[in-house]
C-alpha cells in the first residue's frame, strides 16, 4: 500500500475531487490519500477500521467468510463511494473484507482524530443517509436483475465488473453463489463464451477476446 502523505499531493487531489462539500468542518487536516494495487486489501476482514475511506477512483469487492470457512462475495464497490461507513456509525463493529479489483485511490479520513466531529456533523450525516439509501436501492435493483435476466447476460456483466487488464479470474464457487446459480450451470455458460470466441481459457484465468460481445450481452 502506498501512502501519499505529502501535503502538496493531497491538495492536488482536492483540486480535482473536493471532499469539503460533504462536511461542515474542515476535514483536510485529518485526510491523506492512499493507493492500493489490484488484489490488495483496503479493509481486512474482522478488523476495526482506523480510517473512513472515500474511493476516488477504482473498483473493489466486498466479501464475508462464513463459519464453515466458505467465502461469500457480497457486493461490488465502485468509485465514488464511502468505505467503512457502517463501522463508523456503529452498525457493525468489525469490517467485512474489501479488496481492490483494479488499482484504487482513496481519501483516508483518520477516524481516531475526528470521530466526534464526523458523528456530530449534520451535513455529513445527511449526505451519508442519502448515500446509504441509494446503496440500498442499488442492491434491490441488482437482486431484481438476478431474478429477471438469463445467466448469460448477468455473467457478461459480472465479467466486465471483475476483469482486470482483460483477464477474468474469479473463483467459480463464489461467482455461482453470488449469481444464484449452480456451479455446473456457471461452467456451462463460461464454456459457451469460449466456444463463441468471446473468452479464451488460460492457466491464469479467462482472457477476454471479444470485449464488444460481452458489452452487448451485458446491456
State the cell numbers at 179: 449469481
Q: Are 52 and 126 in the same domain?
A: yes
Q: Which residue has the higher pLDDT, 177 or 187?
A: 187
Indicate if the pLDDT at residue 200 is higher than 90.
yes
Indicate if the pLDDT at residue 216 is higher than 70.
yes
Report residue 1's pLDDT band, with 50, 70 and 90 as the boundaries. Answer: very low
What average pLDDT does this structure show over 137-163? 83
DSSP secondary-structure letter at 216?
H
Q: Are 207 and 119 in the same domain?
A: no
Query: Can you give the pLDDT at residue 174?
Result: 86
Query: Can you give the pLDDT at residue 83?
Result: 94
Q: Which residue has the higher pLDDT, 176 or 71?
A: 176
Q: Are 134 and 104 in the same domain?
A: yes
Indicate if the pLDDT at residue 204 is higher than 50.
yes
Q: Are 163 and 128 in the same domain?
A: no
Indicate if the pLDDT at residue 5 is higher than 70.
no
What average pLDDT does this structure show over 126-142? 85
CA neighbor of 9 nearest in space, from 37, 36, 33? 33
Tally the domains of the chain.
Answer: 2
d(CA 81, CA 62) in angstroms, rounded, equals 13
What average pLDDT does this structure show over 69-78? 84
197 lies in which domain range? Answer: 149-218
Burial-class residue 83 by CB neighbours within 10 Å (0-12, 13-18, 19+). buried
Q: Are 177 and 102 in the same domain?
A: no
Indicate if the pLDDT at residue 186 is higher than 50.
yes
d(CA 158, CA 142) in angstroms, rounded, equals 11
Indicate if the pLDDT at residue 100 is higher than 90.
yes
CA neighbor of 31 nearest in space, from 17, 44, 43, 41? 17
Q: Are 16 and 59 in the same domain?
A: yes
Mean pLDDT of the chain: 87
Q: How many angstroms separate the first and last alpha carbons of the chain?
A: 35
State the cell numbers at 155: 455473467
Q: Are 133 and 183 in the same domain?
A: no
State the cell numbers at 105: 485511490
Q: Are 141 and 154 in the same domain?
A: no
What average pLDDT does this structure show over 55-70? 87
Sheet containing 59-65: order of strands: 41-43, 97-100, 59-65, 71-78
Of 145, 171, 196, which one is at a domain's C-terminal end?
A: 145
What average pLDDT does this structure show over 182-208? 94
Indicate if the pLDDT at residue 9 is higher than 80.
no
Report the alpha-carbon angle 50-105-20, nearest 5. Answer: 75
Q: Are 112 and 205 in the same domain?
A: no
Q: Are strands 51-57 and 81-83 parallel, antiparallel or unpaired?
A: antiparallel
Q: Are 137 and 158 in the same domain?
A: no
Indicate if the pLDDT at residue 37 is higher than 80.
yes
Report residue 20's pLDDT band, with 50, 70 and 90 as the boundaries. Answer: confident
Indicate if the pLDDT at residue 122 is higher than 90.
yes
| b/e map 128-154, b = 16+ CB within 10 Å | beeeeeeeeeeeeeeeeeeeeeebebb
Amino acid at each position: 500500500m502506498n501512502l501519499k502523505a505529502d501535503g502538496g499531493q493531497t491538495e492536488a487531489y482536492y483540486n480535482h475531487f473536493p471532499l469539503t462539500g460533504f462536511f461542515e468542518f474542515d476535514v483536510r487536516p485529518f485526510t491523506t490519500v492512499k493507493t492500493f494495487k489490484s488484489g490488495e486489501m483496503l479493509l481486512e476482514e474482522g478488523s476495526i477500521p482506523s480510517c473512513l475511506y472515500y474511493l476516488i477512483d477504482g473498483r473493489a469487492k466486498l466479501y464475508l467468510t462464513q463459519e464453515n470457512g466458505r467465502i461469500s462475495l457480497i457486493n461490488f464497490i465502485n468509485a465514488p463511494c464511502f468505505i467503512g461507513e457502517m463501522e463508523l456509525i456503529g452498525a457493525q463493529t468489525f469490517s467485512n473484507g474489501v479488496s481492490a479489483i483494479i488499482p484504487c485511490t482513496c481519501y483516508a479520513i483518520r477516524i481516531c482524530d475526528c470521530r466526534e466531529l464526523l458523528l456530530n456533523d449534520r451535513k455529513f450525516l445527511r449526505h451519508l443517509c442519502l448515500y446509504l439509501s441509494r446503496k440500498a436501492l442499488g442492491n434491490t435493483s441488482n437482486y431484481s436483475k438476478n431474478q429477471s435476466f438469463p445467466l448469460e447476460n448477468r455473467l457478461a456483466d459480472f465479467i466486465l465488473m471483475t476483469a482486470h487488464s482483460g483477464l477474468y479470474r474469479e473463483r467459480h464457487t463464489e461467482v455461482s453463489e453470488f449469481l444464484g446459480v449452480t456451479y455446473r450451470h456457471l461452467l456451462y455458460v463460461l464454456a459457451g463464451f469460449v466456444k463463441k470466441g468471446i473468452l479464451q481459457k488460460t492457466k491464469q484465468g479467462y482472457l477476454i477476446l471479444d470485449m464488444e460481445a460481452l458489452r452487448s450481452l451485458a446491456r
